[in-house]
Amino acid sequence: MAEEMYRNVDAHGLEKLVSALFVHAGLTEHDAAFMGECLTYADRRGIHSHGVRWAPRYAASLAAGHLNAKAVAKVVLERGATAIVDGDRGVGHIAVKFAMDIAIRKAKEFGNATVGIRNNSHCGAVAYYAQQAADAGCIGFAATTGGTMIAPWGGLDRRVGLNPISWAAPTGKGFTYNLDMAPSIVAGSKIEMARDRGEPIATDWAYDAEGNPTTDPLAVLSHGGTLAPVGGYKGVGLGVAADILCSVLSGGRYGEGEEPNHGGGMIVQAIDIEHFQPLAEFTGRMDRLVDWFKSSRVKDGVDGVYLPGELEAGRNAVRSHSGIPLDIPTRSALHKAAETAGVAYDIEL
Amino acid sequence: MAEEMYRNVDAHGLEKLVSALFVHAGLTEHDAAFMGECLTYADRRGIHSHGVRWAPRYAASLAAGHLNAKAVAKVVLERGATAIVDGDRGVGHIAVKFAMDIAIRKAKEFGNATVGIRNNSHCGAVAYYAQQAADAGCIGFAATTGGTMIAPWGGLDRRVGLNPISWAAPTGKGFTYNLDMAPSIVAGSKIEMARDRGEPIATDWAYDAEGNPTTDPLAVLSHGGTLAPVGGYKGVGLGVAADILCSVLSGGRYGEGEEPNHGGGMIVQAIDIEHFQPLAEFTGRMDRLVDWFKSSRVKDGVDGVYLPGELEAGRNAVRSHSGIPLDIPTRSALHKAAETAGVAYDIEL
């Protein structure tokens, strides 16, 4: 009998394993613990495309020196309510969290703040950083450059990044409004996951190198294909806006060939709500917005309508005690990485 | 012979007529001149959905007292790099321009700034305000609430606004990067224009009140239909994000029934580029991004690929001397408004 594709894995044990992999890869205990928490946060919320499946890849990149295990993120420019953080070519998540901590502090002082990050690498789900701000009583915004995989509208070649943007705002409803979206119909990782599972992709997700719709993940990933942008030219425009905010402004890399040594760029912003109104008044207004939104009639066969972040918060609550469903490629990669590193773990992969 | 749908109208004469209509409606010479410039700016760039076709409607609303002809936009809260502007229930454009002037000034001081606007009305193309910031050496962001015309994903009722967002950034290429997009596949005004011209709409633009695709503008506008969001749930999330930024934060109205006396809300943000790098370095990097984008191969039958704002800038240059093509409903409405007001004009409508 074939092994089942998904198995529930204990969230706490998974976090411990991921942290141990990063300690073995040379990160400090503090940074490794954060990475365990940050990656399982994505999986707990159901965003597996940015979750623990990345841990073995990051560990391999650290071992190979593509990522700097001894990186220390630092402020290289600081003026008023703005700053630029250099990620020191480390695991990307660490510098972006550091940058949002600065943005929140500055927002409390000035009302709002913008911090750019450069010389950094893949930083996972930007929802994490926007959430930091919301948890601190701010409206948070975070964006990052991603792989260059979208063609200009009417064009054929990869020119625009799969650059996700996220906005988050607190409510009084037990979840945080948290939109995290790539400018493509689906995130690039979803096409990688289909490839890894040997599954076809939907016809409206991507094009081959000649601009024809395709269901073959390899035609997209390995043979010059591109991902379909949301709303046609609008998604292209959103992707370029993020390239400008994340990389042109911070001095990071965009596209290809442009200052490759500067690494990937990100931007984080925080707006302190209490500079505008008492936080309780804001969350009260958010709650009325949520009630109004959810009072909509639903289509036949639909169980309800949900705000961005709402289903994710529900999954997080459930999975924190009943486990995280991981697919075979992810479990297998974690198992191999743990064996290679000689790291013990007490979960069934 | 039927009259032709479009006729080129002299841009300068059109601006003078629109300004005169607003002077007659009770605005100061200064505000009326701005409205003439702001509305023809949209038409010169080809954004007719937000152009002079609105002038007769605004004039009628001013005459009826729905809009306050004696409005004076004012700062009601100012803290650090943030402020809230009250639009005094006037023509919406005036308060948003005022707010962006404040945001630019604060961005020059603090590095970035956020200004909310409330108690305001329809403010046209938000591209105008983002452009203000770009012209001043900033990255500009502007958003406004629009009519509530999008259903939650999986839902049937109007719950989310057609809230456009705009980002603008300077280049050295003779145009400003300027993305201005509603979270719907098309702007609501395009459906109104199809109705006014007696034309059907495309099948993927909108749904009727039961969630079925429709080509009938009236099923959408007059019988409870909704507009299709870009990228499904992503467009819904973008619309809600703008509701939060524009209205929950500033104290404006969102949805229906929520504090209707507070009027529509907007947000403007400016990031001063020179807080991050010299402006010439930024525009140089923008130019390399533009070159890279435009180096893409194009599909058969496509004449080229364009950045947001590029075609608009080209149209603006041409139309400023060869005239603006206006359709019959717009010319007829302007003609009637001018006759009613007893305003003379020297253009052929």
Query: Using one digit for the tens of pLDDT, what is the confidence trace for B169-203?
Result: 999 999 999 999 999 999 888 899 899 889 999 99
Rounded Cα–Cα distance for residues A198 and A215 (Å): 11
Are the C-beta atoms of residues A225 and A206 closer than 8 Å to each other? yes
A chain contacts of residue B240, beta-carbon cutoff 8 Å: 177, 179, 289, 293, 307-308
Rounded Cα–Cα distance for residues B294 and B287 (Å): 10
Whether residue A75 is contained in a domain is answered as: no
Whether residues B268 and B339 share a domain: the answer is no
Whether residues B11 and B96 share a domain: the answer is no
Whether residues B240 and B349 share a domain: the answer is no
Mean pLDDT score, B16-42:
98
> Where is pLDDT greater, at B258 or B326?
B326
Whether residues A208 and A233 share a domain: the answer is no
Q: Is B150 left (phi over 0), alpha (psi -120 to 50) or beta?
A: beta
Point out the residue among A154, A240, A307 whose CB comes nearest to the CB of B299.
Answer: A154
Residue whose C-alpha is closest to residue A206's, from A195, A222, A217, A194:
A217
Calculate the alpha carbon distances from A283 to A68, A125, B325 in Å: 41, 24, 47
A chain contacts of residue B271, beta-carbon cutoff 8 Å: 82, 114, 249
Backbone angles phi, psi at A31, to 5 degrees: -65, -40
Q: Which residues contact B303 (CB under 8 A, 6 or more apart)?
A: none
In sequence order, the β-bridge partners of residue B272 are B138
- Residues 269-288 in A contacting B (C-alpha not used; CB under 8 Å): 269, 271-273, 275-277, 282, 285-286, 288
Whether residues B165 and B281 share a domain: the answer is yes
Do residue B81 and residue A111 have CB atoms under 8 angstroms apart?
yes
B252: domain range? 80-180+234-308
pLDDT of B197 = 87
Whether residue A313 is contained in a domain is answered as: no
Whether residue A204 is contained in a domain is answered as: yes
pLDDT of B254 = 61
Rounded Cα–Cα distance for residues B246 and B243 (Å): 5
Whether residues A250 and A147 share a domain: the answer is yes
Whether residue B99 is contained in a domain is answered as: yes
Do residue A271 and residue B114 have CB atoms under 8 angstroms apart?
yes
Do residue A156 and residue B299 have CB atoms under 8 angstroms apart?
yes
The pLDDT tens digits of the residues spanning B30-73 come to: 999 999 999 999 999 999 989 999 999 999 999 999 999 999 99
Do residue A277 and residue B251 have CB atoms under 8 angstroms apart?
yes
Whether residues B219 and B158 share a domain: the answer is no
Q: Count structural domains, chain B.
A: 3
Other beta carbons within 10 angstroms of residue B291's beta carbon come to: 12
> Where is pLDDT greater, at A82 or A251?
A82
Rounded Cα–Cα distance for residues A225 and A208 (Å): 4
Rounded Cα–Cα distance for residues B265 and B273 (Å): 26
Task: Name the residue in chain B with its Cα closest to that of A259.
Answer: B285
CATH of residue A220: 3.30.60.50
Task: Give me chain A's average pLDDT, please.
Answer: 94
The pLDDT tens digits of the residues spanning B216-270 come to: 999 999 999 999 999 999 999 999 999 999 999 998 766 554 444 446 799 999 9
Other beta carbons within 10 angstroms of residue A199's beta carbon come to: 11
pLDDT of A263 = 63
Whether residues B18 and B89 share a domain: the answer is no
Point out the residue among A250, A277, A299 whose CB comes nearest to the CB of B211.
Answer: A299
Strands A82-86 and A112-120: parallel
Does A292 reach chain B within 8 Å, measured CB to CB? yes
The pLDDT tens digits of the residues spanning A231-245 come to: 999 999 999 999 999
A chain contacts of residue B152, beta-carbon cutoff 8 Å: 293-294, 296, 305-306
Whether residues A22 and A63 share a domain: the answer is yes
Scored b (16 or more CB within 10 A) or e, A280-302 reads eebbebbebbbebbbebebeeee
Residue whose C-alpha is closest to residue A264's, from A275, A278, A253:
A253
Percentage of residues in chain B having pLDDT higher than 70: 96
Whether residue A315 is contained in a domain is answered as: no
Three state DSSP letters for chain B = CCCCCEEEECHHHHHHHHHHHHHHCCCCHHHHHHHHHHHHHHHHCCCHHHCHHHHHHHHHHHHHCCCCCCCCCEEEEEECCEEEEECCCCCHHHHHHHHHHHHHHHHHHHCEEEEEEEEECCCCCCHHHHHHHHHCCEEEEEEECCCEEECCCCECCCCEECCCEEEEECCCCCCCEEEEECCECCCHHHHHHHHHHCCCCCCCCEECCCCCECCCHHHHHCCCCEECECCCHHHHHHHHHHHHHHHHCCCCCCCCCCCHHHCEEEEEEEEEHHHCCCHHHHHHHHHHHHHHHHCCCECCCCCCCCCCCHHHHHHHHHHHHHCEEEEHHHHHHHHHHHHHHCCCCCCCC
Does B119 reach chain A within 8 Å, measured CB to CB? no
Whether residues A116 and A35 share a domain: the answer is no
Domain's final residue, options B196, B228, B260 = B228
Whether residue A128 is contained in a domain is answered as: yes
Percentage of residues in chain A having pLDDT higher than 70: 96
ipTM higher than threshold 0.85: yes
Q: Which residues contact B218 (CB under 8 A, 6 or more apart)?
A: B195
Joined together, the tokens standing for residue B339 give: 């006759």
Whether residues A280 and A329 share a domain: the answer is no
For tokens 């924190």, name the residue. A320
Whether residue A316 is contained in a domain is answered as: no
Whether residues A191 and A237 share a domain: the answer is no
- Collapsing DSSP states into helix, strand and coil, what is residue A150? strand
CATH of residue B278: 3.30.1370.60
Examine the pLDDT at B332 and tell me if it is beyond 60: yes
Whether residue B75 is contained in a domain is answered as: no
CATH of residue A333: 1.10.1530.10
